Amino acid sequence: MVQNIIDVRNLSKSFDISSKKPGFKGTIKHFFRRQTKSLKVIKDITFEIKEGEIVGFLGANGAGKTTILKMLCGLIYPSEGSILVSGYLPFRRKEKFLKNITLIMGQKQQLIWDLPPIESFYLNASIYDLDKFEAKKRIKKLSEMLEIDEELFIPVRKLSLGQRMKSELLAALIHEPNILFLDEPTLGLDINAQRNLRKFLQRYNRETNATICLTSHYMKDITSLCKRVICVHEGAISYDGKLDQLLKKLSPVKEILIVCRSEEDAIKLENSGFTVKNKIKNEITIKIENNSITSSLKTILNNFDIEDLFINEPPIDEVIGKVLIKKNYDI
């Protein structure tokens, strides 16, 4: 049986936030008498993650995804509740725990700006107590997986964003952690760089059975990497389960564009009982429920003279967008 590697129970986090009224008067008042209020940004959340799982955290900006990740890796102290990661209390930041995890943030970097990435790798290797031979072996293996070679010897400031992100990944994985916390790792990358990064993460997960917790605003990252998603809405979990189940629930119908041989066939199809979205000459778009798609297509192909047909999935961004603004999803 696969063990739970992350166990979160009734976790809450509050921050003291100060607010300021606009204008000069507001500024002066803010300077002398700052008004702060306690804001509960994470509200009583509970979940478990199994070893080797890739879990996507979804939510709108400010929903609390990054705060959850930072509590899981021990950067932020929880206000209430308990967290166990790999058997450790993360906020104690024990050496053994820190050697087990890594945090990668798309918008922040740890590489030394003026030096080639290789220098940062060896620095990290010494921090993780790796000898030179072992470090060299791991750098070689990871650079092959990430498909970087010459870039290792070029100053970071001269690398492209994609090359820099690959180097950041290598620096963060040199100690071979088995839990990866990734906060928007593909932020700002072009399509090819995003795809390469996803390919790498899939391979890393497959080869090392590492657990990956990921936040991303790019739906492609979530759909290609995560079988399970945890949706966060205003600090609370609105959905925790399989991604495909969520998608089925949120988009129960598919749109099918059918090109008939003649306009007469299109008219016949229009009057045959299917839900028609629109019809232009011999092209007709109908809506079919996911669970009857095979039987409906069989009927159409057997009874009408069809030239071509296209099945259109609703855009995933639109579907997921619905989750981000709703409080609860029961599947």
Under the rule (CB under 8 A), what is the footprint of other proteins?
Answer: 15, 66, 70, 73-77, 93, 95, 98-99, 101-103, 105, 107-110, 112-115, 119-120, 122-124, 126-129, 155, 183-184
The nearest distance, CB 99 to other proteins, in angstroms, is: 5
- Work out the number of other CB atoms within 10 angstroms of the CB of residue 198: 19
Q: Are 74 and 68 in contact (CB under 8 A)?
A: no
The nearest distance, CB 108 to other proteins, in angstroms, is: 6
| Residue with Cβ nearer other proteins (106 or 162) | 106
Among 142, 190, 184, residue whose Cα is nearest residue 166: 142
| Residue with Cβ nearer other proteins (181 or 329) | 181
Alpha-carbon separation of residue 95 from 100, 174, 246, 265, 300 (angstroms): 9, 16, 38, 71, 64
The nearest distance, CB 202 to other proteins, in angstroms, is: 24
Beta bridge pairs of residue 103: 181
The nearest distance, CB 79 to other proteins, in angstroms, is: 11
| Residue with Cβ nearer other proteins (162 or 185) | 185
Among 250, 251, 229, 248, residue whose Cα is nearest residue 240: 229
- Work out the number of other CB atoms within 10 angstroms of the CB of residue 2: 9
- Spatial distance between the Cα atoms of 283 and 279, rounded to a whole number of angstroms: 6
| Residue with Cβ nearer other proteins (123 or 145) | 123
The nearest distance, CB 123 to other proteins, in angstroms, is: 5
Residue 160's Cβ-side half-sphere holds a number of Cα atoms within 13 Å equal to 9
| Residue with Cβ nearer other proteins (8 or 125) | 125
